[in-house]
Amino acid sequence: MFSLLITLMTLTAHAQKDVTKFLGIPVDGTKASMIQKLKAKGFKSSYYDKDILEGEFNGFDANIMVQTSNNKVWRIIVSYNNLSEEIAKTRFNNLCYQFSKSSKYYSSSSDFTIPEDEDISYEISIKEKRYEAVFYQKSELNIATDNYYEHFLDKSNMDENKFIWFTIQQNMLGYSIVLYYENGYNQANGEDL
């Protein structure tokens, strides 16, 4: 009985700490603490805004921003900026491939990639199409077992509060790919309304 109680307490403590991670850092805590942890990973404050960090992420220069809700970090934003249409499409498709092949993530969709011949400028500006992909971060216990199909079929393993999504955004300087690492446990849920 005592060992069962200890096991339950351990699982409960693990479940409370099992939030979305960015570069191995839990998306949680204070903004100042998160910025310090990101700086320890090599990111530097930009010259125009100390809250925007700059550095390399997944092989490319990126801007990193930390968003809070009720003074707790709930989102890390990674932005690749000033991309041409072709580079944006290629990087988006590469991200889809990388996330789908990683044992850390799973998705309810099999394919978010953009067809090679698709004109994303036309699709975004005229048809108002949104290019987005959503992946859920597996719990550390599920990564250890890494049985993707069993995990996917068992909906109780899907934690909708631990997700990463990314999109292509068009702006005056071209395109950006923006990734959002979100901890839904810290997101505002109407408490201030």
Answer whether 0.85 is exceeded by the pTM: no
The mean pLDDT value for 115-122 works out to 95
Looking at the predicted structure, is the pLDDT value of residue 8 above 60? no
Task: Answer whether residue 8 is part of any domain.
Answer: no
Task: Answer whether residue 7 is part of any domain.
Answer: no
Task: Answer whether residue 82 is part of any domain.
Answer: yes
Per-residue confidence at 11, pLDDT binned at 50, 70, 90?
very low
* Sign of the alpha-carbon dihedral angle for 152, 155, 158, 160: positive
Task: Answer whether residue 6 is part of any domain.
Answer: no
Task: Answer whether residue 147 is part of any domain.
Answer: yes
Task: Answer whether residue 70 is part of any domain.
Answer: yes
Beta carbons within 8 Å of 80's beta carbon, 6+ residues apart: 60, 61, 62, 91, 176, 177, 178
Q: Measure CA 104 to chain center.
A: 12
Task: Answer whether residue 59 is part of any domain.
Answer: yes
* pLDDT tens digits for range 39-51: 999 999 999 998 9
C-alpha closest to that of 177 among 77, 108, 100, 42 = 77
Per-residue pLDDT, 191? 74
How many structural domains compose the chain?
1
The mean pLDDT value for 78-89 works out to 97
DSSP E strands: which ranges in the chain?
Answer: 21-22, 25-26, 44-45, 52-57, 60-69, 72-83, 105-106, 132-137, 162-171, 174-183
